[in-house]
């Protein structure tokens, strides 16, 4: 069981100045694949990254990489690669020199350094730019160099600090598939640390959501999106409308919606306060007779076009409900509209 | 706990020791001078009792006081010239020139070795057969202070948000109104800083005054130099102590103005 | 430097503005900087006058004087001494600035101000203070004798070493400040990246921090080297006239020997060294930035 885990974290605590940045973190990361550590700023994800890389001290706990205790290993001997958010390319060295740096630190022979650098440059497709300085590269090229510089050392684990955040939208998509390709080709374990849920969801196989120095929820992106365990998770990941309610015998009584036949959290009794997490795609405009799910009436407030779809805002009672529509809806402002809810998919969590 | 933290703690202790040694090196000579200024005897070695006699001597009429008078006149006059001309220069360069050449030329005098400027001005007065004296010292000091004021101002102008001027123009202000109401208020701290810097450097300037002054208008540094050449002079200790306290106060005051300028970070 | 804000200004108005702002300062700098420097430059090629000054007769003889053993030797030893002072300042400054990096940002500012305070005290008085410390009957000898470490006083004053020590003392802040500013701008993640790639602390300093702060250190070198070389007060007070720097010779030629052209030649040598240093600095900066924007 433990043998398949590349990185094992047990009871990890860290203090950053006065703040208790990591509170009792337990985490297992399996070898291979992409793992994401996701959290808003101040959640402790950066501290966790710096503790794993060896730049910050843990005050308590255990950190094992492939069965080796890491906490007593200095940062320069950890076999944990790190791609910095700023890339941290050495401005006074060429692309090739940057990539060779870590190999030279290992005191490898010149020929070995040369061939491995050449291999890495080829892998990222920048052969023609090997002698350029970082300042002469574009953002995307710099990121590829930073990646190659870490990967060329063949670390057991590669940490990526907000790998897509500095890129504009166009480049993000390309880099996303590039990261996945590199991960596949090298078979290395990538751990992405990010505040951007889109980045985490699109890249990772598994995501750990951090909040206030604790792991709030751990699972696949789909699990986190479809079955959030808490209001925090529901709000942080994806768009949703959260409606307060109370469990009744036929389901859940939601303010303004009436009683809906929703699944209630396990072990909850009647009369408990709950929250319904309604995703935009779980509701539809226009009442259809005899359709599945429940129907309510609301007031049309407006819509915004998303390209290929649109989000309408419908006021139901006190709730401003976001509704995903296949095309731009054409209603007058203030018109009364029917709303259909996919009650089978809507998640209800304890308040 | 771990090897890393042990190394880090060791580094921290070593750093503190290194800094302590640095400040001992920097401050012990000054402290010795101040301590000796209260010694009633002439000896540097033996403490012969507390006295303020050397202070009385230092501040009685004599070469030190006449030197101080000349130094203050020179510093005020040269700074006044430098503030006016340096400000004009900086604004002119910023507004009406392009490229780094004009900027380099404007700040160049601050980098010319003062001995070179000193002999240059001495030679020029020699060539046109003008007598040297306090006026030549003032002109010499002003020539490098202009560059200092201009350098400080150009740094400030360069970091100034250009869109503020554009906003002022967009709101219908004339060029003069924009300058007086928007640009100048933002420049004021830099002008004060440049003036303070120039004034202080003028007080301490030795080489230029040495070459460009006559015997009857010698600045304080020159008077001190001619006194201590022949050995320890306790009234200089007393004057030094006073000057140290004054400059300490000035630095602490200036820190509020100059340091934020030097280490400005983007908000 | 945006073009748009300038182009709306009509041409004549620009010319008037430029004349109003640049005219007076330009005239002043022309008269009291450019003309004096020009005279020094020209007089280096003229024959000496009888009591100071010069005769407008062209000669290269003043430059030939440099080859005479007296001057060549002073130039050599002066150069050696200033280089030594600059290097010592650089080593101390690196140690000091790196020690300051363990402080908080506020602490660093306080530490730097503490470095500056002695610097704002008259440099003559700071040089003179070392006469009190180093003299045969000075504080250091007195203390050593009191504690029985030595019996007869050590001869410390009036030696080249004492001159070097005092020059280091005087100009150290001029090295620390630009270096500190340069280190302040150093991206911390670069050092982290070097360590993450397996570099030891020393290797990471040598390959990343040192080259990237070299421009600051070289600014410091310019600020320390030139005044050390042109200083004649310290050799006079601390070296007891037995140690000569180029500044002593210039002073002597202008005010005692009254050979102005020779003094000008020596001052130009000083200027040449300064220009060489500045060129070295801009070369280093160019190499580090690698032609990037």
Taking the C-alpha atoms of residue A57 and residue A55, their distance in angstroms, rounded to an integer, is: 7
pLDDT at A312: 93
pLDDT at B2: 40
pLDDT at B104 over 70: yes
Phi and psi at residue A268, in whole multiples of 5°? -90, 145
Interface test with A, best of B4, B6, B9, B11 (most A CBs within 10 A): B4
pLDDT at C2: 42
pLDDT at B6: 56
Any idea how long chain C is? 293
Residues from B contacting A (CB-CB < 8 Å) are 1-5, 7-8
Please tell me if residue A18 touches chain C, with a CB cutoff of 8 Å. Answer: no
pLDDT at B197 over 50: yes
Chain A environment of B4 (Cβ under 8 Å):
54, 57, 72-75
pLDDT at B266 over 50: no
Chains with ≥3 CB–CB distances under 8 Å to A:
B, C
Question: What ipTM goes with this model?
Answer: 0.85
Taking the C-alpha atoms of residue B10 and residue B175, their distance in angstroms, rounded to an integer, is: 60
Average pLDDT of chain A, as a whole number: 90
The number of angstroms, rounded, from the C-alpha of A150 to the middle of its chain's C-alpha atoms is 21
Answer yes or no: do B3 and A72 touch at CB < 8 A: yes
pLDDT at B151 over 80: yes
Taking the C-alpha atoms of residue B226 and residue B242, their distance in angstroms, rounded to an integer, is: 19
pLDDT at B128 over 50: yes
Answer yes or no: do C192 and A92 touch at CB < 8 A: no
pLDDT digits (tens, 9 = 90+) for B59-75: 888 888 999 999 999 99
pLDDT digits (tens, 9 = 90+) for B226-246: 888 877 788 888 988 898 888
HSE (CB half, 13 Å, CA atoms) of C179? 30
Taking the C-alpha atoms of residue C128 and residue B227, their distance in angstroms, rounded to an integer, is: 10
Chain A environment of B7 (Cβ under 8 Å):
74
Query: Max alpha carbon distance in chain C (Å)?
Result: 82
- Edge-to-edge strands, sheet with A19-30: A19-30, A5-16, A60-65, A68-69
Mean pLDDT across B139-144? 93
Q: Which residue of B has its CA nearest to A78?
A: B4
The closest alpha carbon to B264, from B195, B189, B165, B164, belongs to B189
- Edge-to-edge strands, sheet with A294-305: A283-285, A336-341, A294-305, A310-316, A319-325
DSSP letter for B39, please.
Answer: B
Answer yes or no: do C181 and B23 touch at CB < 8 A: no
Return the higher-pLDDT residue of C12 and C237.
C237
What is the nearest CA distance from A65 to chain B, expressed in angstroms? 16
pLDDT digits (tens, 9 = 90+) for B204-224: 889 899 999 888 889 999 999
Chain C environment of B240 (Cβ under 8 Å):
121-122, 125, 128-129
pLDDT at C186: 87
Answer yes or no: do C187 and A88 touch at CB < 8 A: yes
**Residues 9-38, chain B, touching C (beta carbon < 8 A):** 11-12, 14-16, 18-19, 22-23, 25-30, 32-33, 36
Mean pLDDT across C20-39? 92
Please tell me if residue C257 touches chain A, with a CB cutoff of 8 Å. Answer: no
* C46, two tokens: 């003229």
pLDDT at C97 over 70: yes
Average pLDDT of chain B, as a whole number: 84
Answer yes or no: do B206 and C5 touch at CB < 8 A: no
Instruction: Give all strands (DSSP E) within C177-287, no chain letters.
Output: none
Partner residue facing A88 (CB), from C190, C207, C291: C190
pLDDT at C286 over 90: no
* C137, two tokens: 């009957």
Q: What are the Cα distances from residue C102, in Å, to A17, C106, C111, C159?
A: 14, 11, 11, 37
Taking the C-alpha atoms of residue A32 and residue A158, their distance in angstroms, rounded to an integer, is: 10
Partner residue facing A102 (CB), from C197, C200, C211: C197
The number of C-beta contacts closer than 8 angstroms across B and C is: 244
Chains with ≥3 CB–CB distances under 8 Å to B:
A, C
Cβ neighbours of C184 (radius 10 Å): 19
Who's near B221: CB < 8 A, 6+ residues apart?
B67, B71, B204, B205, B206, B209, C122, C123, C124
The number of angstroms, rounded, from the C-alpha of A265 to the middle of its chain's C-alpha atoms is 25
What is the nearest CA distance from B255 to chain C, expressed in angstroms? 7
pLDDT at B261: 55
The number of angstroms, rounded, from the C-alpha of A338 to the middle of its chain's C-alpha atoms is 35
pLDDT at B117 over 70: yes
pLDDT digits (tens, 9 = 90+) for A45-74: 999 999 999 988 888 999 999 989 999 888
Mean pLDDT across B136-156? 92
The closest alpha carbon to C163, from C83, C219, C243, C227, belongs to C243
pLDDT at B201 over 70: yes
pTM of the model: 0.82
Please tell me if residue C199 touches chain A, with a CB cutoff of 8 Å. Answer: yes
Q: Would you write out chain A's pLDDT as a tens digit for each of its 351 residues?
A: 445 689 999 999 998 777 888 999 999 999 988 999 999 988 999 999 999 999 888 889 999 999 899 998 888 888 899 999 999 999 889 999 999 999 999 899 999 999 999 999 999 999 999 999 998 999 889 999 999 999 999 999 999 999 988 888 888 888 888 899 999 999 999 999 999 998 899 899 999 999 999 999 999 999 999 999 999 999 999 889 999 999 998 889 988 888 888 888 887 888 889 999 999 999 998 866 666 678 888 999 999 998 889 999 999 988 999 999 998 988 889 999 989 898 888 999 988
pLDDT at A1: 43
Partner residue facing A135 (CB), from C189, C204, C289: C289
């Amino acid at each position: 069981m433990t043998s398949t885990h590349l990185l094992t974290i047990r009871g990890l605590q860290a203090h950053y100045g006065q703040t208790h940045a990591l509170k009792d973190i337990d985490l297992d990361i399996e070898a291979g694949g992409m793992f994401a550590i996701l959290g808003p700023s101040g959640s402790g994800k950066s501290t966790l990254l710096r503790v794993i890389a060896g730049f910050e001290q843990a005050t308590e706990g255990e950190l094992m990489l492939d069965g080796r205790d890491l906490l007593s290993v200095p940062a320069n001997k950890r076999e944990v690669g790190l791609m910095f958010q700023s890339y941290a390319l050495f401005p006074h060295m060429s692309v090739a020199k940057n990539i060779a740096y870590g190999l030279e630190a290992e005191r490898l022979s010149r020929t070995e350094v040369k061939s491995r650098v050449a291999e890495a440059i080829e892998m990222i497709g920048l052969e023609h730019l090997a002698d350029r300085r970082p300042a002469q590269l574009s953002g995307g090229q710099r990121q590829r160099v930073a990646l190659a510089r870490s990967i060329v050392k063949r670390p057991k684990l590669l940490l990526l600090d907000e790998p897509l955040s500095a890129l504009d939208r166009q480049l993000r998509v390309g880099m996303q598939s590039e990261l996945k390709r590199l991960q596949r080709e090298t078979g290395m374990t990538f751990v992405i640390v990010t505040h951007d849920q889109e980045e985490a969801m699109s890249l990772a196989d598994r995501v750990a959501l951090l909040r206030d120095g604790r792991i709030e929820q751990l699972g696949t992106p789909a699990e986190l999106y479809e079955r959030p365990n808490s209001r925090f998770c529901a709000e942080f990941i994806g768009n949703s409308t959260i409606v307060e309610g109370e469990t009744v015998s036929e389901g859940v009584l939601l303010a303004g919606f009436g009683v809906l036949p929703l699944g209630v959290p396990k072990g909850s009794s009647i009369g408990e306060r709950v929250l319904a997490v309604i995703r935009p795609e779980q509701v539809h405009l226009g009442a259809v007779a005899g359709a599945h799910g429940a129907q309510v009436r609301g007031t049309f407030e407006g819509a915004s076009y998303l390209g290929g779809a649109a989000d309408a805002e419908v006021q139901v009672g006190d709730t401003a409900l976001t509704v995903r529509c296949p095309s731009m809806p054409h209603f007058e402002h203030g018109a009364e509209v029917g709303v259909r809810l996919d009650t089978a998919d809507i998640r209800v969590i304890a308040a | 706990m771990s090897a890393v933290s042990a190394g880090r703690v060791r580094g921290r202790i070593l750093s503190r020791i290194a800094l302590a040694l640095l400040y001992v090196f920097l401050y012990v000579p000054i402290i010795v001078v101040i301590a000796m200024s209260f010694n009633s005897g002439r000896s540097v070695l033996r403490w012969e009792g507390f006295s303020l006699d050397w202070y009385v001597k230092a501040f009685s009429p004599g070469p030190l006081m006449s030197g101080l008078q000349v130094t203050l006149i020179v510093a005020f006059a040269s700074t006044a010239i430098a503030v006016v001309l340096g400000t004009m220069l900086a604004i002119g360069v910023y507004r009406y020139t392009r490229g780094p050449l004009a900027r380099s030329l404007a700040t160049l005098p601050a980098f010319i070795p003062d001995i070179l400027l000193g002999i240059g001005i001495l030679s020029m007065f020699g060539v046109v057969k003008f007598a040297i004296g306090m006026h030549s010292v003032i002109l010499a000091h002003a020539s490098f202070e202009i560059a200092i004021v201009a350098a400080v101002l150009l740094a400030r102008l360069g970091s100034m948000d250009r869109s503020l001027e554009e906003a002022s123009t967009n709101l219908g202000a004339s060029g003069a109104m924009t300058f007086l109401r928007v640009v100048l208020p933002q420049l004021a701290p830099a002008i004060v800083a440049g003036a303070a810097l120039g004034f202080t450097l003028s007080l301490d300037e030795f080489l230029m005054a040495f070459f460009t002054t006559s015997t009857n208008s010698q600045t304080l540094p020159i008077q001190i130099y001619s006194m201590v050449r022949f050995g320890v002079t306790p009234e200089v200790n007393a004057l030094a102590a006073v000057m140290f306290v004054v400059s300490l106060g000035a630095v602490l005051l200036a820190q509020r103005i100059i340091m934020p300028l030097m280490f400005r970070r983007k908000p | 430097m945006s073009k748009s804000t300038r182009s709306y200004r009509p041409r004549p108005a620009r010319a008037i503005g430029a004349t109003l702002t640049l005219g007076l300062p330009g005239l002043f700098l022309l008269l009291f900087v450019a003309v004096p420097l020009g005279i020094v430059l020209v007089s280096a090629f003229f024959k000496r006058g009888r009591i100071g000054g010069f005769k407008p007769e062209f000669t290269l003889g003043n430059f030939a004087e440099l080859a005479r053993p007296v001057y060549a030797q002073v130039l050599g030893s002066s150069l050696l001494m200033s280089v030594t002072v600059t290097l010592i300042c650089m080593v101390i400054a690196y140690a000091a600035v790196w020690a300051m990096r363990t402080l908080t940002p506020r602490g660093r500012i306080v530490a730097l101000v503490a470095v500056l305070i002695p610097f704002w005290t008259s440099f003559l008085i700071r040089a003179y203070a070392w006469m009190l410390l180093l003299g045969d009957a000075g504080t250091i000898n007195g203390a050593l004798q009191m504690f029985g470490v030595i019996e007869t006083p050590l001869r410390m004053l009036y030696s080249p070493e004492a001159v070097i020590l005092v020059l280091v003392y005087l100009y150290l802040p001029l090295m620390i400040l630009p270096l500190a500013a340069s280190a302040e701008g150093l991206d911390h993640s670069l050092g982290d990246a070097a360590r993450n790639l397996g570099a030891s602390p020393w290797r990471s300093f040598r390959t990343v921090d040192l080259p990237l702060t070299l421009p600051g250190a070289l600014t410091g070198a310019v600020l320390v080297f030139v005044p050390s070389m042109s200083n004649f007060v310290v050799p006079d007070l601390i070296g007891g006239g037995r140690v000569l720097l180029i500044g002593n010779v210039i002073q002597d030629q202008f005010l005692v020997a009254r050979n102005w052209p020779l003094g000008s030649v020596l001052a130009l040598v000083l200027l040449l060294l300064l220009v060489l240093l500045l060129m070295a600095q801009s070369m280093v900066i160019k190499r580090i930035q690698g032609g990037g924007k």
